[in-house]
Each structure stands twice: as C-alpha cells, then as structure tokens.
C-alpha cells in the first residue's frame, strides 16, 4: 500500500480520487488550505509530502487577488509541488489537466496557458510523471468559467463539449498513480457531445431548479465550434449524460 499526497483533495475530482485511494487501502494525505497546506505560500507542504510515494496534483490554486498573474500563480503552485516532491525523494507525480489547451486559440487564455505551463513543468521535473488530460466534466454544467447564476435566469456560454464524469476521471487517476507502467500522458473524454446550455438546463431540471437557461456567445468563438471535443486517440469513458443525470437526481 502506498502513501499518496492529493493536492486539491477537497475539490470536485480530488474528493473522488481520495475516496478511491482510501477504499483501495492507501494512506491519503490531503493537500489543501482546509488541511493546513497552502500551495501559494508553501505552508505545511514539506510536512504533507514527507514519506509520500506519490503526489497527485488535482488542485485549482487560482489567485484570490484579481490583479495577480494567473499563469505565475497557478503554474507556480504546481512547480512548488514538484520541487518539494523532488527534494523529498517522491518519485511519482500525476497532474490533472485539460484536453486541447495547446490549441493556439487559447494563447490569450491565462488559465489554459497556466495549465500548459503545469504540463511542461511535470515533463521537465525528472519525476516519473503522468499528465491526465480530460475534456470538460459533466460537473462543468455549473462551472463559473462559463455559467453565471442570476436570481431569475442562468446564463451559459454556448460551448460545444464532450463531457466526461469526474467519477470516471477519478477512477483513472487512482489506478494510474500506483501503476508501474503508466504512460506519461493519457487523454480522456466522455461518449457524447452536447451544447453546454443544454447540459445545464437538463441538470437544473433534474434538480428542480425552474430558472430558465439563457445561451450567450462563448468568450472564444471556437468554443462553440467544437475546439474542446475529444482529441484523436482519447480514451472514451462513460457514463452517458443521461446516466450521470440519473445519479445526480438521487
């Protein structure tokens, strides 16, 4: 059994990864501010990573200061994790990232540029690294990056996506982190394409939320045209949207 530090252990996918690793008998060390570890300042990080066999980076260390340099702060958190892991002799590192971010249409999207920098840092780290790149998750149906909840309506960017369930992502990450023969890169997608406003409307309906969904143009036009669909060679994993919505309704 392994000791695995999970950065972002309290987040959407980190919670699910943590549950799977614990169920498999591994010792999970949470790395998040709620657990007393800050990836911006480094507070508590050495203590958390000491004795770990592997580190998973499923954090989303976005700066709270609107004037901060998103690329530096978000990529800097991953670099700090990598540097600390190397210093402490942790050999294995898995990063959760996003499909298609290398497309030039995202050159001026600071968050996607930060994710590119994270991927480069893993490749350059000298650690045995795996980058798990996924399409948007079903849970993206309520993500503030594209969805704004108002009192009387919900506005949703008209992205065309091919969502995958965060549960399925967690299954793959939890398996890969302890695999001896993991590749350095894996791409994952769900089985169906959908327009984000439709996905959000279906989720709100299942939740009994009567607010209408208003589709608005995506911030980057190519997002409406399929730039975020599954890349060639991606591993396609269920559930379908309908199956996922049924679990959300319970």
Q: Per CB under 6 A, which of residues 71..110 are in contact with ligand NAP?
A: 96-98
Determine contact, residues 234/188, Cβ cutoff 8 Å: yes
| Tokens describing residue 169 | 């992502």
Distance CA 202, CA 229 (A): 20
Q: Per CB under 6 A, which of residues 181..220 are in contact with ligand NAP?
A: none
Examine residue 143 and tell whether it contacts ligand NAP (CB under 6 A): yes
Distance CA 176, CA 205 (A): 35
Site string for ligand NAP, 38-77 (x = CB under 6 A): xxx-----------------xxxx----------------
Smallest gap from residue 247 Cβ to ligand NAP (A): 17
Examine residue 33 and tell whether it contacts ligand NAP (CB under 6 A): yes
Contacting range for ligand NAP; rule: CB under 6 A; set: 33-41, 100-108, 147-155, 241-249:
33-41
Question: Exposed, middle or buried by CB within 10 Å (0-12, 13-18, 19+), for 187?
Answer: buried
Determine contact, residues 96/173, Cβ cutoff 8 Å: yes
Torsions phi, psi for 97 (to 5 deg): -135, -165
- The runs of H, that is alpha helices, within the chain are 12-23, 45-49, 70-87, 110-124, 166-176, 196-206, 241-249
Contacting range for ligand NAP; rule: CB under 6 A; set: 82-90, 130-138, 171-179, 232-240:
130-138
Contacting range for ligand NAP; rule: CB under 6 A; set: 8-16, 21-29, 198-206, 228-236:
8-16
Count of positions on this chain that bind ligand NAP (CB under 6 A):
27
Nearer to ligand NAP, 59 or 203 (CB): 59
Beta bridge partners of 149: 154
Q: Per CB under 6 A, which of residues 11..30 are in contact with ligand NAP?
A: 11-14
Determine contact, residues 192/237, Cβ cutoff 8 Å: no
Examine residue 144 and tell whether it contacts ligand NAP (CB under 6 A): no
Cβ neighbours of 120 (radius 10 Å) = 14
Examine residue 136 and tell whether it contacts ligand NAP (CB under 6 A): yes
Nearer to ligand NAP, 8 or 201 (CB): 8
Which residues contact ligand NAP (rule: CB under 6 A)? Answer: 8-14, 32-34, 37-40, 58-61, 96-98, 115, 134, 136-137, 140, 143
């Amino acid at each position: 059994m392994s000791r695995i530090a999970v950065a972002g252990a309290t987040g959407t996918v980190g919670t699910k990864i943590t549950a799977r690793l614990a169920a498999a008998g591994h010792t999970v060390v949470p790395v998040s501010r709620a657990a007393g570890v800050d990836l911006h300042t480094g507070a508590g990080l050495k203590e958390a990573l000491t004795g770990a066999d592997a580190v998973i980076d499923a954090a989303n260390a976005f700066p709270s200061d609107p004037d901060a340099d998103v690329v530096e702060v978000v990529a800097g958190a991953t670099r700090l994790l990598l540097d600390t892991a190397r210093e402490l002799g942790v050999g294995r590192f898995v990063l959760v990232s996003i499909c298609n971010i290398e497309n030039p249409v995202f050159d001026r999207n600071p968050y996607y540029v930060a994710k590119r920098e994270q991927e480069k840092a893993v490749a350059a780290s000298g650690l045995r690294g795996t980058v798990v790149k996924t399409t948007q998750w079903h849970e993206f149906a309520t993500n503030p990056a594209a969805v704004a909840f108002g009192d009387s309506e919900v506005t949703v960017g008209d992205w065309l996506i091919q969502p995958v369930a965060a549960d399925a992502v967690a299954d793959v990450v939890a398996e890969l982190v302890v695999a001896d023969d993991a590749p350095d890169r894996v791409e994952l997608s769900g089985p169906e394409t959908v327009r984000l406003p439709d996905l959000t409307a279906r989720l709100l309906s299942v939740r009994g939320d009567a607010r209408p969904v208003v589709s608005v143009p995506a911030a980057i036009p190519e997002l409406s045209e399929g730039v975020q669909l599954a890349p060639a060679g991606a591993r396609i994993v269920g559930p379908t949207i309908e199956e996922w919505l049924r679990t959300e309704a319970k």
